[in-house]
Amino acid sequence: MSDGALLEVRDLSVVFDGFRAIDGIDLTVQHGELRFLIGPNGAGKTTLVDVITGLTKPATGTVRFEGADLVGRKEHEIVRMGVGRTFQTSVVFEKLTVVENLDLAASFRRPLWSLIRRRRGVSDAVAAAMEITGLDVLAERPAGVLSHGQRQWLEIGMLIAQGPRLLLLDEPVAGMSADERSRTGQLLTEIAKDHTVIVIEHDMEFLRRYASQVTVLHEGKVLTEGSVDEVRADPLVQEVYLGRAREDAAVVPEEHAAAVATTAGEVT
């Protein structure tokens, strides 16, 4: 294992009924990185996260986390080892309050006796998760009444309460307002101070503001890696996104085609 690498994915492939959703991916993430993962729909981004977190079994390859291979381990075992993730769709308990959701998430790592004994107050892990996400003011609200953005922050808080060293976030700002996006960007920057974070994201403006290292996936392969500017300037990346925009332009009426052409340079 190379020095400092927290996560090392090597020669990873995933096959669904003969279709190679992931086709020989290598990915190295160092301790303390805030790494963005982008790529067109179906590129294999979520599948990669699914493999790292034990949800999907790869056909070939290894996933080393702090030197230990994660392939073949159960999902809960991987969580206990310090790898946490959010899903593209929300998984909070709507009837439970914010603090109860956080407490439940944190309890995953607590010994059984501490669960049986009724505790007073909130644990340090829950307090820290509330503080970093700014959810302390909403502690007693049922999760079901939270706005979309607040719900996403709760999910991120639930991850943090589990004390992971690696966080994998699947499109955390999808569907958020501009204000919620910038709050989430600040939250990720804050979290990345003492965690390693991998974020799947499509929004280029968000990447420009908050990303340093970016990995681009396309058709199950790593297309390129680098800074946001390097990646945007890469002809291969432009071809992948421009090619898609051209196909779109062919099926939209002429007045809309002009709008597509102007935004075609944008990696989304």
Ligand X SMILES: Nc1ncnc2c1ncn2[C@@H]1O[C@H](COP(=O)(O)OP(=O)(O)OP(=O)(O)O)[C@@H](O)[C@H]1O
Residues that bind ligand X (CB under 6 A): 16, 21, 39, 41-47
Interaction between residue 162 and Mg ion (CB under 5 A): no
172 binding partner (options ligand X, Mg ion, none; Cβ < 5 to 8 Å by kind): none
The item of ligand X, Mg ion, none sharing an interface with residue 21, based on CB under 5 to 8 Å by kind, is ligand X
Distance of CA 194 to the CA centre of its chain: 16
If one asks whether residue 196 binds Mg ion (CB under 5 A), the answer comes out as no
Radius of gyration of the chain (CA): 20
Amino acid identity of residue 32, one-letter, is: G
Within 10 Å of residue 16's Cβ, how many Cβ atoms? 11
Shortest reach from residue 176's CB to ligand X, in Å: 16
Q: Specify the residue, 8 or 171, whose C-beta has the smaller distance to ligand X.
A: 171
d(CA 105, CA 17): 34
Minimum gap (Å) between residue 21 Cβ and ligand X: 3
**What is the spatial distance between Cα 173 and Cα 48, in angstroms, rounded to a whole number?**
19
Q: Which does 181 bind (CB under 5 to 8 A by kind): ligand X, Mg ion, none?
A: none
| Six token digits for residue 143 | 């999760």
- For residue 43, the minimal CB distance to ligand X (Å) is 4
C-beta of 55 vs 81, nearer to ligand X = 55
Handedness of CA 159, 64, 210, 38 (dihedral sign): negative
Q: Is 46 in the site for Mg ion (CB under 5 A)?
A: yes
Nearer to ligand X, 38 or 197 (CB): 38
Report which DSSP code applies to 88: S
